[in-house]
Amino acid sequence: MGKIIKHKQQKGAVLPQFRLITAIVVTTMLVLWFLFWTRPQPEAKLEQLAPVKVSLVQVQERVVQPFEQVTGRLQPIKTAQIRYEVAGKVIARKVEPGEKVSTGAVLMSIDDADYRDQFKQVAAELVLEEKSVGRNKDLLKYAQNNLDLQRQEEQRLQNLAGRNLIAQSQLDSTRQRVFDLQAEVTRLDYLVATNSARVRMKSAQRDIAKRNLARTTLNAPFDGVVNQVFIDEGDYVNANQVALSLMDTSEFDVQLDVRGEVISELVLKQQVDVVINGVAGKGEIVALQLDPDINTNTHQIRVRVPSDNARAGLLSVVSLPLSAQTQSKLIPVSAVLNLYGKTYVYTVEGNVTKQLPVQLGRRINNEIVVLNGLSVNQKVVARDVSSLANDQQVTTE
């Protein structure tokens, strides 16, 4: 009994100790949590950036010659789609794409047997018609004489019939022969009157047959290079069918579309600068469209260039000179900052950048005209302006 009481006394003494330990632990954790969240934040140390080194350039003023640069593709001065004008079977193909040909060279031919026979037939008919001219005149003369004699016979028989010396049927038969002779004279007179017209008609038919015979062979209309061939031997071609294409590459044209203010500065036969495939050269204006296109409101011009270093399809850049401008202020293109649709430059005042808005004009090579915002001899940052900011510390070279 005494042991039980003693055990209960010990158990009652342990419980307050456990509670005390728990309270100490909780209190410690709360103190640590408070200290953690109320600790001072480390202060950021701002380091001074080294000033950017910039180069300055003065605003220049001088007379400038502006150019309008337009890009176009080279094309041959002449290109022909050569068509057959008659139908037939192709029996010879003489050329291939890329082959150079001279004027009159045979390119392709079709079977000409039917066209040759037709020409012979019409030529023979013309000869017969020409020979019939003299014959018809002679026949008309003989028929007219015969008619005169027959009329005299009719008159004689009419006198005899009036005295009842011949039968009436004999007179009627003579009159019938007169009518027949009148009809023959009329027919021969028509033939003689229209003989020249029939000869001209047969002559025209002969010429047509001769031309059709010549059309069985396709010949080169000019010196050039075969570009494409669409027909092979054995094919049957119809009239107006394209057989091949030919281009004249002795010179090339550049076709350009320009604005109205540009066309007013240009004249025919004017020499202009042209760059083809990186090679500079000269060209000549050979065509100017004064009335603008109704859809684009642009004018079309053609510039002719020599065939040196040129090839159909190459891109070319043509510089069209405009009116010279006096007292123009110029800065490098690299000095301009484009920002939200506006243009700015940077000046330097006391080693600090100042951003100034400017109004710009035409670009001329690597410079650009300043219309407003800067004065002559004022200095601006020459390049790398996109990396600068307003009121930034800089040093100058």
Q: What is the pLDDT of residues 39-98, one digit of tens each?
A: 666 665 555 557 888 888 989 888 877 788 899 999 999 999 999 999 999 999 999 999
Long-range contacts of 263-269 (CB under 8 A, 24+ apart): 263/288, 263/289, 263/290, 263/299, 263/301, 265/320, 265/321, 265/322, 265/323, 266/301, 266/320
Query: What is the pLDDT at residue 306?
Result: 92
Least confident of 197-201, 250-254, 306-310, 334-338: 306-310
Q: How many CB atoms lie within 10 A of CB 364?
A: 17
Rounded to the nearest integer, the mean pLDDT of the chain is 86
Cα–Cα distance measured from residue 302 to residue 26, given in angstroms and rounded to the nearest whole number: 95
Q: In b/e form, how buried is each residue of 91-112, taking b as 16+ CB within 10 angstroms?
A: eebebeeeeebeeebebbbbeb
Q: Domain map of the chain by residue range?
A: 56-66+325-396, 79-112+214-245, 114-212, 248-306
As a whole number of angstroms, the distance between CA 355 and CA 388 comes to 9
3-state DSSP call for residue 300?
strand
pLDDT of residue 3: 46
Task: Return the pLDDT at 284.
Answer: 95
Task: Say if residue 269's pLDDT is above 80.
Answer: yes
What pLDDT was estimated at residue 137? Answer: 85
Query: pTM, whole model, 2 decimals?
Result: 0.58
> In this predicted structure, what is the pLDDT of residue 13?
53
DSSP symbol at 194:
T
CATH of 56-66+325-396, one of 3.90.230.10, 2.40.420.20, 2.40.50.140, 1.10.10.60: 2.40.420.20
Q: Distance between CA 391 and CA 397 in Å, rounded?
A: 18
At 362 the pLDDT is 79
Can you give the pLDDT at residue 5? Answer: 45
pLDDT, position 42: 61
- Nearest-angstrom CA–CA distance, 290 and 298: 9
Q: Phi then psi for 329, rounded to 5 degrees?
A: -90, 130
Q: Which of 30-34, 63-67, 107-111, 113-117 has the lowest mean pLDDT?
A: 30-34
Residue 244 burial by CB count (10 A; 0-12/13-18/19+): exposed, middle or buried? buried
User: How many residues in total does the chain contain?
Assistant: 397
pLDDT band for 102, please (50, 70, 90 cuts). Answer: very high
Higher pLDDT, 168 or 195: 195
Q: At what angle do helices 168-193 and 113-162 cross, to 10 degrees?
A: 150
Q: How far apart are CA 222 and CA 99, in angstroms?
A: 13
Overall fold of domain 79-112+214-245: OB fold (Dihydrolipoamide Acetyltransferase, E2P) (2.40.50)
Q: CB–CB of 235/110 below 8 Å?
A: no
Q: Which helix (H) or strand (E) holds 7?
A: helix 2-37
